[in-house]
Amino acid sequence: MTDSIYGGYANILEELRSMMEERINTYTKEVYQETGLKICEHLIARVKSEDSMREKCNRKGVPETPESALKRMRDSIGIRIICPFIDDIYENVNRLRNFPDCEVVEEKDYIRHAKPNGYRSYHMILELETNYPDILGNPKGKFFVEIQLRTIAMDSWAALEHQMKYKKHIENQELIVEELKRCADELASCDVSMQTIRNLIYQG
Contacts of residue 43, Cβ cutoff 8 Å, sequence gap at least 6: 21, 24, 25, 79, 80, 81, 82
For residue 162, the minimal CB distance to ligand 0O2 (Å) is 4
Scanning 21-29, 126-134, 157-165, 172-180 for contacts with ligand 0O2 by CB under 6 A, the matching segment is: 157-165
Binding segment for ligand 0O2 (CB under 6 A), chosen from 24-32, 90-98, 116-124, 185-193, is 116-124
**Among residues 147, 110, 143, 141, which one has the least CA distance to residue 125?**
147
Q: Which of 75, 91, 155, 191 binds ligand 0O2 (CB under 6 A)?
A: 75
Q: How far is CA 85 from CA 25, 159, 193, in A?
A: 17, 18, 10
Choose one: 2-10, 34-42, 88-96, 114-122; the region binding ligand 0O2 (CB under 6 A): 114-122
**Four-residue CA torsion sign, 92, 97, 100, 104:** positive
56 binds ligand 0O2 (CB under 6 A): yes
Residue closer to ligand 0O2 by CB (options 9, 157) is 157
Contact call for residue 91 and ligand 0O2 (CB under 6 A): no
Mapped onto helix, strand or coil, the DSSP state of residue 141 is coil
Q: How far apart are CA 18 and CA 1, in angstroms?
A: 27
Stretch in the footprint of ligand 0O2 (CB under 6 A) among 6-14, 111-119, 130-138, 192-200? 111-119
- Cβ closer to ligand 0O2: 19 or 62? 62
**Footprint of ligand 0O2 on 164-193 (CB under 6 A):** none
Per-residue mark of binding to ligand 0O2, 13-42 (x: CB under 6 A): ------------------------------
3-state helix, strand and coil shares in percent for the chain, rounded to the nearest 5: 50, 20, 30
162 makes contact with ligand 0O2 (CB under 6 A): yes
CB closest to ligand 0O2, residue no? 119
Read off φ and ψ for residue 174, nearest 5 degrees.
-60, -45
* C-alpha–C-alpha distance, residues 24 and 21, integer Å: 5
Coil/strand/helix, residue 62: coil
Residue 51 sits at φ, ψ, to 5 deg, of -65, -45
| Interacting residues toward ligand 0O2 by CB under 6 A | 52, 56, 75, 108, 115, 117, 119, 123, 158, 161-162
